[in-house]
Amino acid sequence: EAGVVQSPRYKIIEKKQPVAFWCNPISGHNTLYWYRQNLGQGPELLIRYENEEAVDDSQLPKDRFSAERLKGVDSTLKIQPAELGDSAVYLCASSSSGLSYEQYFGPGTRLTVT
Amino acid sequence: AQSVTQLGSHVSVSEGALVLLRCNYSSSVPPYLFWYVQYPNQGLQLLLKYTTGATLVKGINGFEAEFKKSETSFHLTKPSAHMSDAAEYFCAVIGGSQGNLIFGKGTKLSVKP
């Protein structure tokens, strides 16, 4: 069974530029999560999807961050414009139900904003 | 609000020694608790979880954790460390208004030969 796939693995951009991250969850997993992990910290949830619906986006900075999961499968997280403080690892995870008891994580995208 | 505190950001042990990583939680309801491991440049992998039932939980790679309600703790242990155990370990609890995972800051485990 293929795991959670994320791309790109690494991204370096200048501040004020846009950037997008892509995630393909495990087949059959209805729930998809985006996390941000700052250096030396644990992951923090940005947004959670149940199929196509964003059921929890309370921690997503909506002035510059957006996300979509149009067909209830893969998802894209976008930052526009990026700021220096956005440098972090962006992790995608999926689970098979609405309960977040067992989440499967992708390898993450390491973003560096210069 | 639910939260977890991991004591010690960095733990170093010798190969073959006991591994003990500490986690204390705060929860107003019976907690669901988790330990995840993150190897360099990889995502997180679930080691073990406690939901209900037996308070001693066994996970993968020889790790186990014991839920102690009286101490609000969920410490992770392994009798004998292996070099391959070197990684960062995160304790997590289900919490918040939406029942999402809330992670601690992590403990980096180093294993000396």
Q: Does B9 touch chain A (CB under 8 A)?
A: yes
B24 CA: distance to closest CA in chain A (Å): 15
- Would you state the pLDDT for residue A98? 57
Identify the CA nearest to A103 among candidates B59, B104, B46.
B46
- Would you state the pLDDT for residue A34? 97
Q: Which candidate in B44, B46, B90, B102 is best for mutational testing of the A interface (most A CBs within 10 A)?
A: B44
Chain A residues within an 8 Å CB radius of B44: 43, 91, 93, 103, 105
CA B38 to chain centre: 11
Q: Which candidate in A7, A39, A41 is best for mutational testing of the B interface (most B CBs within 10 A)?
A: A41
Pick the residue from chain A with its C-alpha nearest to B107: A40
**Residue type at B62 in one-letter notation:** G
Q: What average pLDDT score do residues A105-112 get?
A: 96
DSSP label of B59: -
B-contacting residues in A 46-105 (Cβ below 8 Å): 48, 55-56, 58, 91, 93, 99-105
pLDDT one-digit tens code per residue, B17-45: 999 999 999 987 778 999 999 998 888 99
- Would you state the pLDDT for residue A18? 97
- Would you state the pLDDT for residue B98? 72
Residue A85, SS3? helix
B86 CA: distance to closest CA in chain A (Å): 16
Burial of B43 (0-12, 13-18, 19+ CB in 10 A): buried
Give how far Cα B68 sits from Cα of B19, B65, B76, B112, Å: 18, 10, 12, 30
Q: Give the position of tokens 């991204």.
A: A11
- Would you state the pLDDT for residue B25? 94
Chain A residues within an 8 Å CB radius of B104: 42
CA distance A100 to B28: 19
Asked whether the beta carbons of residue A45 and residue B90 sit closer than 8 angstroms, the reply is no
Task: Kindly state the helix (H) or strand (E) to which residue A59 belongs, with its residue range.
Answer: none
Contact (Cβ atoms closer than 8 angstroms) between residue A52 and residue A70: yes
Statement: residue A6 has pLDDT above 60: yes
Statement: residue A99 has pLDDT above 70: no
Q: What average pLDDT score do residues A63-88 get?
A: 95
Q: What is the pLDDT confidence band of residue A1, given thresholds at 50, 70 and 90?
A: low
Contact (Cβ atoms closer than 8 angstroms) between residue A95 and residue A26: no
- Would you state the pLDDT for residue A100? 55
Contact (Cβ atoms closer than 8 angstroms) between residue B97 and residue A59: no
pLDDT one-digit tens code per residue, B54-93: 889 999 999 999 999 999 999 999 999 999 999 999 999 9
